[in-house]
Amino acid sequence: MFHPDVSRGVHRLEHAHVNLYLIEDDDGITVVDTGFPSTSGRIEKAVARIGRRVDDVQAVILTHAHFDHVGSAKRLHERWHVPVWAHRDEKFLAAHPYRYRHERNRVLYPVRYPAGIPVLARMTVAGALWVRGIEDVALFHTPDSRPTEPLDVPGRPVPVHTPGHTFGHCVLHLADRDTVIAGDAIVTLDPYTGRRGPQIVSGAATADSVTALASLTALADTGATHLLPGHGEPWHGGVAAAVEQAVATGPS
């Protein structure tokens, strides 16, 4: 489902409970995350919905390289000849999107959290089990000693390193739009439990929940109003309030 202007010049495409975003400005479009293999055609239709062409897409950025965010990246890179950007600590995972660390055994989650079953079933139908990784990734890093520079792509997003869900996970701060694209640093739907509201993703897919919760401080420090998560509905009540709720909810 396509949702235009969830914040100024940022458009949301939701497919099988996974969100990706189109950042639009006069220079073109940046696609943030790519969903599943079957999402690529929907991305092309979303570009057309905002009156733009595929040629206007200048870059793809991955908040992280789990299979449900990297699913169409290789296809877009090869067909549209656009660079795919990711934090340098995501390089291995981008090429091998199923070989990620997680804290808890996923097998028991459908028993403990039956509300997650229909979510995971839709993701499977969308191609969650057939993702091809991508090796040709343009890498950026986020030095601790100085503020991160914006990426030279449409929208000029500033990557903020928020490790925990994965080791190279980054959110993208769009200060001029009062917005953070949060990836899975904080979500409003956990696919593994079916629970809604601001939270970190469960240990079934998170490498280190303690680190993930600690990283939320950097998210709150953006001071943004609009939080656009990788799963679930956007949150427009202030990032700091979403972080407070996620910390209170804790890991699962």
CA 113 to chain centroid, in Å, comes to 23
Phi, psi of 35 (to 5 degrees): 65, -135
Q: Name the domain count of the chain.
A: 1
Q: Which pLDDT value is given to residue 168?
A: 96
Cα angle 191-99-109, degrees, rounded to a multiple of 5: 30
pLDDT of residue 109: 87
Neighbouring C-alpha atoms within 13 Å toward the C-beta of 71: 26
58 pLDDT tier (thresholds 50, 70, 90):
very high
Q: Could you tell me whether strands 196-199 and 10-15 are parallel, antiparallel, or unpaired per DSSP bridges? A: unpaired
CA gap 71, 33 in Å, rounded = 9
- Average pLDDT of the residues in 165-178: 97
How large is the average pLDDT for residues 75-91?
Answer: 97
Give residue-wise pLDDT tens across range 141-165. 887 645 678 999 999 999 999 999 9
17: pLDDT strictly greater than 90 = yes
pLDDT at 76 over 60: yes
Alpha carbon of 210 to those of 2, 43, 188, 225, 250: distances in Å?
Answer: 34, 34, 19, 25, 9
Task: Fill in the amino acid letter for 149.
Answer: E
Give the pLDDT score at 247: 97
- State the pLDDT confidence band at 45, using cuts at 50, 70 and 90: very high
- % of the chain residues with pLDDT over 70: 98
* Number of CB atoms found within 10 A of residue 62's CB: 29
What is the pLDDT at residue 147? 60
CA distances for 218 relative to 33, 162, 221, 231, angstroms? 20, 7, 5, 20
Rounded to an integer, the average pLDDT of 190-206 is 96
* Structural domain range at position 43: 2-97+104-249
Q: If you average pLDDT over residues 234-248, what whole number do you get?
A: 97
The CATH code of the domain that includes 48 is: 3.60.15.10
pLDDT tier, 112 (very low <50, low <70, confident <90, very high otherwise): confident
Average pLDDT in the 161-184 region?
Answer: 97
pLDDT by residue (tens digit) across 220-236? 999 999 999 999 999 99
Please give the pLDDT value at position 142.
82
